[in-house]
Amino acid sequence: MLAAPINPSDINMIQGNYGLLPKLPAVGGNEGVGQVVAVGSSVTGVKPGDWVIPANAGLGTWRTEAVFSEEALVGVPKDIPLPSAATLGVNPCTAYRMLVDFEQLQPGDCVIQNASNSGVGQAVIQIAAALGLRTINVVRDRPDIQKLTERLRNLGADHVITEEELRKHEMKNFLKDVPQPRLALNCVGGKSSTELLRHLAPGGTMVTYGGMAKQPVIASVGLLIFKDLKLRGFWLSQWKKDHSPDQFKELILTLCDLIRRGQLTAPACSQVPLQDYQRALEASTQPFVSSKQILTM
């Protein structure tokens, strides 16, 4: 293994409240990049020196070395930055599929999302910009909100607003110059998701892929009846079950093209040696930390 990030879903898996739980004892970590050291005589898909990422969740990437079957891995090109390779298999894949699979969006159309500073959020901003889509990005208010707004704008965010601003009546005027979003991406739940729904265009879709607030999604009856909004869910592990390994490889190569063109960068990250994993785990569970912890081996 070369590098592996700490994602919220990794923590959920360890806590036992995730949709997929490995057999115990298990190794943590669902994402990362490794370099092949040696292969068995009947292996044809990878060779020593190749970079590889897990084909599915539950592989256990927080370790220095491992023996895996060829089918458990997907090769990735070595001409992309190491942090990009280490964070390629989960968040950018989720962002891309949600932008493409639920609404037939055209250049100039608008997407609204919460948790816009998350790994998925940052990928959504960049992939949307590459597809010619505009983004309204909702974040929690914080002391360094100006700095965060600037950072997300530099990634390609069109609008960055706080949860509090989104609730204000003036927001109607602010958003009247922007096409009403047909797609909302929800990683929070609770009041935040209700606000996203209020701003969706009639017939629009809200896709939930996380629940950071640990509160249910509440949709008013009026919004469902009179605006005919659709509530959907997305889980990358399920998408992989419904699609072939080749389709996942194709998705990875599409994202690698965006990385090479400079249209998709890794999230802001802090690289921490594996032996300091406790410090990295602690940092990853702090509120308002804008930096993803990446364990380096």
Q: Which residues are catalytic?
A: 18
Q: Position of tokens 């968040």?
A: 91
Contact 59, 72 (CB under 8 A): yes
- Write out the two tokens for 111: 């997407």
Strand ranges inside the chain, DSSP E: 3-5, 34-35, 51-54, 73-76, 110-113, 134-139, 159-162, 183-186, 189, 205-208, 215-217, 230-233, 269-273, 292-296
How many residues in total does the chain contain? 297
Q: C-alpha 42: how far from its chain's center?
A: 35
CA dist 120 and 179 (Å) reads: 23
Non-local (6+) Cβ contacts of 156 within 8 A are 125, 126, 128, 129, 135
Nearest residue to 120 via CA among 27, 20, 234: 234
CA dist 92 and 5 (Å) reads: 13
Residue 261 CB-density burial (10 A; 0-12 exposed, 13-18 middle, 19+ buried): exposed
The helix (run of H) or strand (run of E) holding residue 217 is strand 215-217
Q: Dihedral of CA 108/111/117/123: which sign?
A: negative
Give the three-class secondary structure for 65. coil
Contact 187, 123 (CB under 8 A): no
Nearest residue to 104 via CA among 199, 203, 224: 203
